Structure formats: structure tokens, C-alpha cells
Homo-oligomer: A and B are copies of this chain.
Amino acid sequence: MADIIRKNAAPRVTIADVARHAGVSKATVSRFLNHRDTLLSPEISERVAAAVEALSYTPSPMAQALKRGRSRLVGLVVADITNPYSVAVLSGAEQACRRAGFLMMLFNLGNDRERESVGLRILSSYQVEGFILNTMGLEREAVVTQALQGRPVVLVDRLRQGMDVDFVSLDNQQAIGMCVRHLTESGYGEFLLVTEPLDGISSRQERVAAFEALQGVRGKWMETRPDDHAGLVDALRALRRQARRPPALIAGNAVVTMRIVAAAAELGWQLGRDIGLVGIDDTLWAPYVGPGISAVAQPTDALGALAAQCLIERMEGLDTAARAIRLPGTLVARGSTRLA
């Protein structure tokens, strides 16, 4: 009874083991791994390959990161992982990263704006080579910049004051224009854009700005909060009462859409007939709520993939001016914008 085998004893097989097994030096194995093509005698190469196979050796990314100073890690910071939009984008980004040989480290803020710099710092300490950010963006710019450690960044959906970096998002102007045009063509004549509190969040601001900039459109906009259900109900009632032409609502995102649906239900209104509704962000349930909710679908996969691609280019050294990529949405018309 020699020695006790510890549970979970999974002695990592290292480059040294491979070298021993192949009867060569560690350096040779490392060369085989990193410069397979050049600098290699066929016979030795064969031996090393066999040893790697036999021991099913995998290099330690940790050690590699330590040595190279590069980790093949990308940090993703998300305001709220519970938000399907964020998840959809993240999913697209993850695929693109993976294809490029990067692994994504995810940090979820759980809507806690104070945690942003913490997240950045932690991710930084893991030597992530770049960041994809989709956050509230309300921490002081200085502390964020400091936590970033000069690494490349791409912003998704939400711009930040004073950060001159790549940016990827829905073309909000196009989206809002499309909504209004669709509503107009469907026979509605007065509009109310409902958004979550602007709170300095660029995508919300852009949607409002695009709405206000529209020529010849009778429209107002308002903010709504989760706890102010009554306020929303009142606003809808007022809109319909004062309207001379059939009124319609534009929801700034899916959460607002949901709130509006609840308010309309409370008023006993039928969407489409009593009031029009089109929301930004299409969802799985949209077809089945009431008469179906019309919505602008965001190209989330493409957004994620583009964000990743921008970042990867930067990480590989691209040093041109910051880019802003805006992708058009797609309108899906359903019953909530049918007057008849």
C-alpha cells in the first residue's frame, strides 16, 4: 500500500511530460505547437505529435497568458443578463469570438451601475485583450478609462460620453422612421412614443430625438417607470380622448411594450382597433399577445458578430478612427397596427 490516491487528483500533463515522452526538449515541443510548419525536422515532428496525442496534452492557457501577456480572452460586460436583447447580442458575439479563437468572459452587472468598474477591473486582471460593453455607462469616465487599462473596446447599443471607440447598434433613426411610416400608412394619425427613463442612455435618447425630428408628425413622447403603472394608464386615456385621428403608441423596447399591453388590458382596449402599438424589439411572444404585437426586429446576431469583429480587428492592431456601425431593423406587422 504505497501512497494514498487523493480524490480529484488530476495531475495536469505538462509540456515537460510530452517532452520526456518524445525524448526531446520542452523547447522543441513548444516549437511544434506554435510554429508547426517552419523549423522542424519531420522525424522529430512526428515523434512530438505522437506524444501529444498519446498523453492528450493541452497547453495551459493560464501559463501561456502569463508568458505571452496575451490571453485570448475577451471581456463582455452586460448591464442585465436577464435582458433578452443583451443575450441575443452576446450569443452572436460569442460565436464570432470563438471562431477567431477567443473565449469570452462574461460579467453581469445585474443592473447595478456601481459594479461596472469592478467588472472591468476583474476582467482586466484576467488579462482580457479587449472589451465588449453594453452597460448603463453611468460611472465616472475617468474610473472607467482607468479600469480599461488602454485595452480596445467596442460599445454595443449604448454610446458613452467622451469614449472615442467603436460602436455598434440598431439604426435608431431608421427604426423610428419606419415605425411612424408604418403607423401612418395603417391609418393612425397621432403618436406617443413611450420610453424607459432616458437616464443618459444613448439609444433611448436617439429614439426620442429621431421621433422629434420627424417632419409633419403629430407626436409627443413620455418616460415611464415600472412603478408608475397608473401614470401610463392616464397617459393612454388622455391620448385617446384628445386625439382627432386614431392614436398609436411606439414602445421604446420590449419592456415598455409589455407595460403598454398591461395598461391597454386594464382599460379594456383592443390593440389595433382602439389604439395602435408598435414596439422596438421583436420577441417570441409578440405574435400571440392580443392580436399580435407589431415590432421592429433588431439584427441581434449581426450586431453581436460585428461587435466582435470590430474588437478583434482592434486587438490585432487596427488603429484607424473610431467607427460607428448602425444596422437597420426589420418591421414585422401584426394585429396591433391594424385599425380595421
Interface centre among A9, A62, A63, A151 (most CB of B within 10 A): A62
A288-B289 in contact (CB<8A): yes
Residues A236-263 near B (CB distance < 8 A)? 258, 261-262
- What chain B residues lie within 8 Å of A106 (beta carbons)? 104-106
Task: Provide the bound-state CA to CA distance between A287 and B8, in Å.
Answer: 47
Closest to A6 in B: B150
Interface membership of A95, Cβ < 8 A: yes
Contacts of A81 in B (CB 8 A): 87, 90-91, 94
Stretch at the interface among A31-39, A53-61, A168-176, A213-221: A53-61
A137 in the interface (beta carbon within 8 A): no
Closest to A106 in B: B106
Let me know if A150 and B104 touch, CB within 8 A.
Answer: no
CB closest chain-B residue, reference A118: B98
User: With A7-B150, A105-B105 in contact, do A110 and B125 touch (Cβ < 8 Å)?
Assistant: no
Q: Which of B9, B60, B288 contacts A290 (CB 8 A)?
A: B288
The chain B residue with its CB closest to the CB of A9 is B150
Determine how close the nearest CB of chain B comes to the CB of A310; give it in whole angstroms.
Answer: 15
A127 within 8 A of B: yes
Q: Cα distance A40–B24 when bound, in Å?
A: 46
Q: Is A161 interfacial (CB-CB < 8 Å)?
A: no
Contacts of A94 in B (CB 8 A): 81, 108
Q: Which residues of B contact A88 (CB under 8 A)?
A: 82
Q: Give chain B residues whose Cβ lies under 8 Å from the Cβ of A60.
A: 66, 125, 127
* Contact (Cβ within 8 A) A152 B8: yes
- Distance of A122 Cα from B58 Cα, bound (Å): 9
This protein's copies in its complex: 2
Q: Give the nearest-CB partner of A76 in chain B.
A: B106
Cα distance, A127 to B287, chains bound together (Å):
45
**Contact partner, A66, options B63, B152, B319, Cβ 8 Å:** B63
Cβ of A84 under 8 Å from chain B: yes
User: How far is B125's CA from A262's CA once the two chains are assembled, in angstroms?
Assistant: 48
For window 285-300 of A, CB contacts with B under 8 Å fall at: 285, 287-290
Q: 6 closest A-B pairs (Cβ-Cβ)? A: A285-B285, A10-B149, A10-B150, A8-B150, A106-B106, A261-B288
What are 28 A-B contacts defined by CB distance under 8 Å?
A: A8-B150, A8-B151, A8-B152, A9-B150, A10-B150, A58-B124, A58-B125, A60-B66, A61-B125, A62-B65, A62-B71, A63-B66, A81-B87, A82-B88, A82-B91, A91-B108, A94-B108, A103-B126, A104-B106, A106-B106, A258-B284, A261-B288, A262-B288, A283-B285, A285-B288, A288-B289, A288-B290, A289-B289
Instruction: Please list the residues of chain A having a beta carbon within 8 angstroms of any beta carbon in chain B.
Output: 7-10, 12, 58-63, 65-66, 69, 71, 81-82, 84, 87-88, 90-91, 94-95, 103-106, 108, 110, 121-122, 124-127, 149-152, 258, 261-262, 265, 283-285, 287-290, 319
Q: Give 17 A-B pairs besides A8-B150, A62-B66, A63-B66 with Cβ atoms closer than 8 angstroms.
A: A7-B150, A8-B151, A9-B150, A10-B149, A10-B150, A58-B121, A58-B124, A61-B126, A82-B87, A84-B84, A87-B87, A105-B106, A106-B106, A258-B284, A258-B288, A262-B288, A288-B289
